[in-house]
């Protein structure tokens, strides 16, 4: 399993959609903290199509800068897995 290292500036670029190296394919709020949300995202490296899971915090408050809430990090590769989901709806 491959690992990648991202600086907080690179992480910010990826999340904001400004990266030419990675694109976000899935994001999910996984928790909250006093000033915002804790998030998990799956990103795809454009050059080879490999996927990696990243974690970051964000906030809608103006005084909370992305770089103050996040750090440089190392992130692991993930692979897509097909899952069958059963849902239920009202009978006619």
pLDDT digits over 43-84, tens only?
999 999 999 999 999 988 766 788 889 999 999 999 999 999
pLDDT at 89 > cutoff 70: yes
pLDDT at 9 > cutoff 70: yes
User: Of 58, 57, 52, nearest to 25 (Cα)?
Assistant: 52
Distance CA 10, CA 35 (A): 22
What's the whole-number average pLDDT of the chain? 94
pTM, to two decimals: 0.86
pLDDT at 34: 84
């Amino acid at each position: 399993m491959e690992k990648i290292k991202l600086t907080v500036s690179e992480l910010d670029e990826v999340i904001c959609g400004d990266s030419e190296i990675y694109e976000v394919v899935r994001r999910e709020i996984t928790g909250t903290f006093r000033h915002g949300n804790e998030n998990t995202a799956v990103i795809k490296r454009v050059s080879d199509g490999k996927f990696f899971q990243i974690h970051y915090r964000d906030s809608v408050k103006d005084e909370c800068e992305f770089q103050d809430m996040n750090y440089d990090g190392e992130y692991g590769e993930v692979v897509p897995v097909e899952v069958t989901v059963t849902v239920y709806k009202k009978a006619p």
